[in-house]
């Protein structure tokens, strides 16, 4: 799994001045058959961030952490990262903005795309997030990351994040996740080892690559 420093570097590339300089990935960034944008979806604790980090290591995708963006904004405002504050800020950012926080950093996304970077959005929450890309005619397949409910709960407990510890938040997240079912392009199962997950993630992207080549 990616180190925290590596993840911060990728996030900084998105919002900062320099594009990613990942070794051995430059040839992939201009590959016409590899989707430039991937959207990850899945329940809390499914392993979406782990998949995004693995796709960076193997294929050069830059992780775009939407939840991290919201939490970073809370920190900037010197507010506690709680479920109530997270939901309030997300509602605020979505208001009059196509219903998605993506609008607030569209310029950064476009800049990275113009540079030929591969982007992995971690993660889409509802149909408004997906519609953001559809309205801009951007090919953006949605990969659903899944695991057993029991395993998801255990993972969330282990990461001990304040904005996770809320039953209402879980129910809302599950409902939104189910609403995305009609948009799913591929699936990644995360019930086994990290090595298996990496193979699953690459397989899912390679399948998308093959599908694009056949069109």
**Structural domain that includes position 149:** 32-63+118-214
CATH number, domain of 55, equals 3.40.50.300
Q: Is residue 193 part of a domain?
A: yes
pLDDT at 37: 94
Q: Is residue 209 part of a domain?
A: yes
How many domains would you assign to the chain?
1
Question: Roughly how many angstroms between the first and final C-alpha of the chain, as a whole number?
Answer: 34
Q: What is the C-alpha separation between 154 and 133, in angstroms, rounded?
A: 33
Q: Is residue 53 part of a domain?
A: yes
pTM of the model: 0.79
Q: Is residue 37 part of a domain?
A: yes
Q: Is residue 54 part of a domain?
A: yes
Q: Is residue 52 part of a domain?
A: yes
pLDDT at 175: 65
Q: What is the C-alpha separation between 172 and 185, in angstroms, rounded?
A: 22
Q: Is residue 97 part of a domain?
A: no
In a structure prediction context, what are the per-residue pLDDT tens digits for the chain, which is 215 residues long?
Answer: 333 333 333 444 444 433 344 434 434 444 557 899 999 999 888 999 999 999 999 999 999 988 888 888 899 999 998 888 988 998 898 887 899 989 988 888 899 999 989 999 998 988 999 999 999 989 899 999 999 988 988 888 887 665 555 566 656 666 666 678 889 999 999 998 999 999 999 999 989 886 765 55
pLDDT at 80: 92
pLDDT at 168: 60
Q: What is the C-alpha separation between 100 and 92, in angstroms, rounded?
A: 10
Phi-psi region of 168 (alpha: psi -120 to 50; beta: other; left: phi over 0): alpha
Token pair for 201: 């993630």
């Amino acid at each position: 799994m990616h180190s925290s420093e590596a993840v911060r570097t990728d996030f900084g590339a998105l919002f900062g001045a320099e594009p990613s300089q990942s070794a051995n990935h430059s040839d992939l960034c201009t590959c016409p058959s590899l989707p430039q944008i991937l959207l990850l979806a899945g329940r809390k604790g499914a392993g979406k961030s782990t998949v995004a980090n693995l796709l960076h290591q193997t294929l050069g995708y830059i992780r775009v952490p939407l939840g991290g963006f919201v939490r970073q904004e809370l920190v900037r405002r010197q507010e506690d990262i709680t479920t109530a504050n997270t939901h309030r800020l997300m509602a605020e950012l979505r208001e009059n903005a196509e219903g998605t926080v993506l609008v607030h950093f569209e310029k950064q996304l476009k800049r990275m795309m113009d540079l030929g970077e591969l982007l992995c959005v971690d993660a889409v929450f509802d149909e408004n997030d997906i519609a953001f890309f559809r309205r801009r005619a951007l090919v953006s397949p949605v990969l659903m990351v899944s695991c057993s409910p029991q395993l998801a709960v255990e993972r969330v407990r282990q990461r001990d994040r304040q904005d996770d510890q809320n039953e209402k938040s879980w129910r809302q997240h599950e409902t939104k996740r189910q609403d995305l079912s009609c948009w799913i392009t591929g699936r990644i199962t995360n019930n086994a080892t990290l090595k298996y997950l990496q193979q699953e993630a690459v397989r899912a992207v390679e399948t998308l690559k093959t599908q694009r080549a056949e069109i």
